[in-house]
Structure 1
Amino acid sequence: IGTTDTEADGPDDVAIPQDEIQLLLEEGEKLVPGFRRARALRVWAGSRPLVKDDKADDADTREMSRAFALIDHKERDGVEHFLTITGGKFTTFRKMAEVTVDKMCAHLRTARRCTTAEEPLPDSGHHRFYWLGARLARREETLNDDQLICECELISRRRLESAMGQRHTQNLDDIRRTLRLAMGPCQGGFCIYRATGILHSVERLDYGAANSALLRFLQERWKGVRPILYGDQLRQARLDDWIFQGLLDVEHLT
């Protein structure tokens, strides 16, 4: 549920105030009675630029348009081959990319047909659009053929190794963004150390690099879990802590 909207002094000012969490819980309760008793997995905050709107009050960012603007610096500043795309939001990223590349092609005098609207979303398989049941359907076909690494998100070892091979990254958050690794109720409590071991093998990392990848991932997960530590999620966090501190002693990994 969300989002709230406040003006920030800088792009790194992404604190998550408790009063805003409580506000969202209260508003959710109005919409869905019992919402407060549901298990909250994670909270997040981010920064985005808004295009200056002369019709909006500077003190109220919610009144500013969420539209995007493409600035051609040749037209505005006399600087050639320099474009700025700003504003917008995640749901308009594809359109923003299309407009920007079309403008680039015009600058380069290259006529190319835009295929943005025809490209399927990642992980959509043969379906035209993303289907929520795709992962479960694939998993049921190979229940006994492949090791399950992330139970919450139904990620198999074969699929994880394939994503790692394609991304060639030492950052487990990159894999999370690709596969939703560790984004379920346990927030990585049961799967991320398995995934780290597989990353160590696929990318041929030494133990120091593998340990660093694990620690960075856990620190990022903690940022979103810490503000909502109550009820079931607090119990889950304590269990995760016993796993990572009691069994793996992650604070002393080198």
Structure 2
Amino acid sequence: MESGLYIVATPIGNLGDISARALDVLGAASLVAAEDTRHSQRLLNHFAIETSLIPYHEHSGAQNAQLILREVSEGGVVALISDAGTPLISDPGYKLVRDAQDLGLAVVPVPGACAAVAALSVAGQPTDRFLFCGFLPAKEGARAQAISALQHESATLVFYEAPHRVLATLESLSVCLGGEREATLVREISKAFETVRRASLAELSEFARADANQQRGEIVLVVQGYQGEEAVSPELLQLLESMAEYMPGKRAAALLAQYSGQRKNQLYQHLLDQKDD
């Protein structure tokens, strides 16, 4: 196996989801860098892999990063894994990848399970465009502010959430985005108590409140994007009004629509509303 830093996806639940290539890399590596070595040791033991483990996470310090880079620089193979799923997706590690690339070392993806993608595949929400938002802030005020900033985002929204905060997050989403907004709660993917529930945010809040089991395990929330017209910024509207002073309103709306990507009819309607006022 060629020397390099291998980014290896591991199962998020069912151990049968690990790929044959991932097992080959983990077995051939000179080191496995793991977010939690105790957790990952159980995975290696299950597949009878005896490769040495070292910790690599946001608190492990520069020393371990340097050890990994030196190992690869000297011709070794290092496999980077997280507790579950694809490393670097809502996990630390991108700096290690950048440092390896800056040194001219090979960085190789070994694809596999990812909770966000698995949840999207069964959520029943549009997947042509989605925004991965990771974990929302724990404090209520900061969480509401973060959600409100996404109110007019048309892409499907994907959140990870801790079990003890999922009810509070569903309630915040319902308040900030509207209780009628559709969403899908995906819980314990590929495990014994897997749940996929699609409903309005208000209904999902009630579902989680009524069943304490829905507040346990690993959770992904997939929320429908904004279905209305995208809001037009005040600056763009001011520019539109200025343009309309020097040319017909339809022409101004058409030109600005071509420039900004906003809908022409929406811009022209604003000019009509201004005229009525």
Fold-level similarity (TM above 0.5): no
Higher RCO (C-alpha 8 Å, min separation 6): 2
What TM-score, normalized by structure 2, do the two folds share? 0.28
Give 1 or 2: higher helix fraction.
Answer: 1
Q: Radius of gyration: which is bigger?
A: 2
